[in-house]
Amino acid sequence: ANREAGLRLDEELGAFAELDSGERAIVPNNRETSALIQRITTDDEELRMPPPESGKSLTAKEIKTLSNWVDQGAAWSKHWAFQPPVRSLIPKANYDALESLSAWKPLGPIDHFIHASLRRAGLVPEEVADKETLIRRVTLDLTGLPPTIQDVDNFLNDKSPNAYERVVDRLLESARYGEHMGRIWLDAARFADTHGLHLDNERSIWPYRDWVIEAFNNNMPFDQFTIEQLAGDLLPTPSLSQRVATGFNRCNVTTSE
């Protein structure tokens, strides 16, 4: 497509450059002089962008988000997918700000990154969660189900330093883990036991569902998980399991004709 008015919004230089009209699409900290904001908020249908007839008009929430972004300085960041991966330096925790949280301490690199983000926002970590909260949280996260009373009692009575790690290991080894994670994947893959159109007849695609659950429970590497679903039948001497995995390609809505 040909660009008009010299405007390009997919690159930083183009987004902030002077347009053919002498205006600038984005003027940091000033929505009133930003042509972009003027065009998405004007009542003049001849000037409104996107054009009303395009069917792509922005919602009030989207307009507010863009306007606030401009007023806050229009900080520009490149799309993560087009940036080379770089190992970030682990930020140091500001322990002076944590004096009131004597029980809190970073347990690993992730905690340092979280604390750095909180510090930038002028916040401090919450108090350390009690054991009842921890086991409920991790059990729901990994199985989609609340812990049983016996599970909670066992965790509360386990005074060892690695009690929490043992709970995590137990949950990851549970069949419920694969069922929960598999449900999330199957939703994304548009899995259903019926065709989805016309009479919505049943279809025998449950072996693919079971394959997904078993893949999670067996801790299958994600590259293998992806390859077998996309082209398992094209692998050298494919196994029955690998052929079943390609049921992924039949999860779309069909007419069954």
Q: How confident is the model at residue 4 (pLDDT cuts 50, 70, 90)?
A: low
Query: Residues 11-30: what's their mean pLDDT?
Result: 88
Is a pLDDT exceeding 60 seen at residue 39?
Answer: yes
| Angle, in degrees to the nearest 10, between helices 175-188 and 163-173 | 60
Q: How confident is the model at residue 93 (pLDDT cuts 50, 70, 90)?
A: low
Q: What average pLDDT does the structure give for the chain?
A: 89
Q: How confident is the model at residue 181 (pLDDT cuts 50, 70, 90)?
A: very high
Six-digit token string for 171? 């949950």
What's the confidence (pLDDT) of residue 88?
87
Q: How confident is the model at residue 5 (pLDDT cuts 50, 70, 90)?
A: low
The SS3 assignment for 68 reads helix
Cα separation, 6 vs 15, in Å, equals: 10
Which residues, 6+ apart, have CB-to-CB distance to 104 below 8 Å? 98, 125, 127, 128
* CB atoms closer than 10 angstroms to residue 170: 15
Six-digit token string for 23? 């205006």
To 5 degrees, how large is the angle CA 161–CA 163–CA 165? 100
What's the confidence (pLDDT) of residue 256?
64
What's the confidence (pLDDT) of residue 112?
87
Is a pLDDT exceeding 90 seen at residue 143?
Answer: yes
